[in-house]
Amino acid sequence: MQKLSAKLKNVPRSTSPASSPTSKTLNKEETLSESSKVLTDNNSEENQRSGKSEQDSRVPVLNMQGKPLMPTKPQKARKLLEKEKAKVVQRTPFTIQLKYPTGETKQDITLGIDAGYSKIGWSAITEKTELLAGELELRQDIPRLLKKRKAYRNQRRSRKWYREPRFDNRSKKDEWLPPSLEHKLQSHIQLVKQIKKILPVTRTVIEVATFDTQKMQNPEIKGTEYQQGKLQGYEVKEYLLEKWSRECAYCGKTDTPLEVEHITPKSRGGSNRVSNLTISCHNCNQKKGNKTAEEFGHPKIQKKAKKPLKSAAFMNVIRWKIVDELNCDHTYGYITKKNRTELGLDKSHANDAFVIAGGNNHTRSQHIHKAKQVRRQNRSLFKANFLKGGNKKRNTVKEVNGFKRFDKVSYEGKKCFIFGLRRSGYFDLRDIEGEKIHASANSKKLSLLERANGKIEKVKRRSLHARLR
């Protein structure tokens, strides 16, 4: 009975009376293969005893083979665990797997992905309901770490007295990408695959780019509905707002209506290319008049305008690779913004993903999954700098008292993550945003909830402003 009660405590309680799309019939199989397990080391005894979960109002369900079924309400999941007809296979998102054979009935589920340079938003919806939604923050430290690795290698090679000559035996694949871009590409693909492991997604739509920069390079092109429809001019202004951080390029004002402005006026030979456009408030636009930006006292404006927007350039490199790999539909960010504005939704990656999936008057999920990518381990054996006496200090320890860095733990009733690992057994604990919980917590007072797995994740209640108005 104690074991059964522990399982029931881990089942999330529903905060919404929304009806469940769960089928009464599931798939019929007699065996469970090892490959069907969703995640590793999440079905521990400590996980089962962890108390009330932060789970959304829907619980993903897997059949005996580990294939996804329609998610159910927490009440039904709790009853299945109580009768020992299911087991917990994943904590975040909270997922159960059935122990009995059954048939299968599914609804159409559309997955919307708001692809991005630093964050990815996702939302899975049925015809009437949003099932799950979340945001994933990507790693931004890869270029810095690659430079650090290069310095380590150069330092090591400089200590070699002699090295035999060798021919150039290095070659790159035809579709080679820089490591930082390759990581972001694979992050998008892996996220979709992970969601499909717990939800029977039938259609995927990805926002491949905020802007179509190729068409913006020649806005005078004729014969396309793209340039002459209701969205004419909409994309260019959104690009400029993003590039100039939504502030006037001349005075820096933010809380004021902004206008598209020519750096070199058209009357003096300036073109409509984005490299000759900036964003300014009405007063600065009028004061500038027929002057160039340099004559107006801002010589650096032209140089900045010619630089491509980093995030847009990134999406132009990998956007079709994502579509080809996942064989999915695609859309553009300026269309997403137009539809989101018409729905009256606040700007967020999860709301964008909801619109991308085709969300309209759907019942919104009350919770959102916040995730952040982290390093799995520090591979370097020693610190970069020498200590006094010419000695090198060993790098960060890998494990202390059964805990690793970024493990999710419970400390005095608070769920947090281990950001700093010390041999003394006293750890630095923080939440997913990096806010400090305790600078030096004794490991004896910690309870392990989830092993670090390349990302940390938490379920948060969605604010009222994020829902349809």
Domain boundaries, the chain: 2-98, 110-140+177-211+326-374+461-466, 243-306, 378-453
Rounded to whole angstroms, what are the CA distances from 324 to 255, 298, 328, 353? 41, 43, 7, 19
The chain-wide mean pLDDT, for the chain, equals 77
What pLDDT is stored for residue 220 in this prediction?
45
Residue 94 in this model has a pLDDT that exceeds 50:
yes
**Angle of CA points 200, 205, 207, to nearest 5°:** 145
For 245, counting Cβ atoms within 10 Å of its Cβ (0-12 exposed, 13-18 middle, 19+ buried), the class is exposed
Mean predicted confidence (pLDDT) in 262-291:
86
Contact between 77 and 121 (Cβ < 8 Å): no
The answer to whether residue 177 scores a pLDDT higher than 80 is: yes
pLDDT at residue 194, rounded to an integer:
93
Quick one: average pLDDT of 257-266?
88
Residue 222, pLDDT score: 43
> What is the per-residue pLDDT for 347?
87
With a pLDDT cut of 90, the percent of the chain lying above it is 30
- State residue 174's pLDDT score: 75
Length of the chain: 469
What pLDDT is stored for residue 378 in this prediction? 60
**The pLDDT value given to residue 202:** 95
What pLDDT, on the 0 to 100 scale, is given for residue 168? Answer: 65
Alpha carbon distance 394, 381 (integer Å): 6
Q: Which residues contact 438 (CB under 8 A, 6 or more apart)?
A: 411, 428, 429
Q: Give which of 436, 405, 350, 331 is closest to 136, Cα–Cα.
A: 350
**CATH architecture of the domain covering 378-453:** Roll (2.30)
Of residues 464 and 317, the one with the higher pLDDT is 317
Residue 212 banded pLDDT, cuts 50, 70, 90: low
Distance (Å) of CA 149 to CA 155, 394, 397 = 10, 16, 19
Over residues 3-38, the pLDDT tens digits come to: 444 444 444 444 333 333 333 333 333 322 233 333
pLDDT tens digits, residue range 292-319? 888 888 888 877 777 666 666 677 778 7
pLDDT of residue 30: 30
* pTM to 2 decimal places: 0.68
pLDDT at 86 over 70: yes
Mean pLDDT over 121-135 rounds to 93
Predicted confidence at residue 7, as pLDDT, reads 45
Average pLDDT over residues 217-240: 52
Inform me whether the pLDDT recorded for 231 exceeds 60: no
Q: Which of 74, 35, 43, 55 is nearest to 450 (CA)?
A: 43
Residue 150: pLDDT band with limits 50, 70, 90 = confident
Q: Where are the strands (E) in 101-192, listed by range?
A: 110-114, 119-125, 130-137
Q: What is the mean pLDDT of residues 381-400?
A: 71
Residue 321 has pLDDT above 50, yes or no: yes
pLDDT class of 45 with cuts at 50, 70, 90: very low
Is the model more confident about 56 or about 139? 139
Residue 180 has pLDDT above 70, yes or no: yes
| Mean pLDDT calculated for residue range 54-61 | 71
- pLDDT given for residue 169 in this prediction: 64
Using the predicted structure, report yes or no on whether residue 72 has a pLDDT greater than 50: yes
Q: Which of 213-217, 260-264, 385-389 has the lowest mean pLDDT?
A: 213-217
Q: What CATH number does the domain located at 110-140+177-211+326-374+461-466 have? A: 3.30.420.10
The residue that leads in pLDDT, 307 or 177, is 177
Higher pLDDT, 299 or 383: 299
Mean pLDDT of 262-290: 86
With tokens 């002699």, the residue in question is 162
Q: Give kind and range of the element (H or E) at residue 194.
A: helix 179-198
Lowest mean pLDDT among 39-53, 199-213, 221-235, 425-439: 39-53
Instruction: Tell me the mean pLDDT in the region 148-167.
Output: 72
pLDDT confidence of residue 21: 36
Please state the rounded mean pLDDT for residues 363-383: 81
pLDDT above 50 (res 53): no
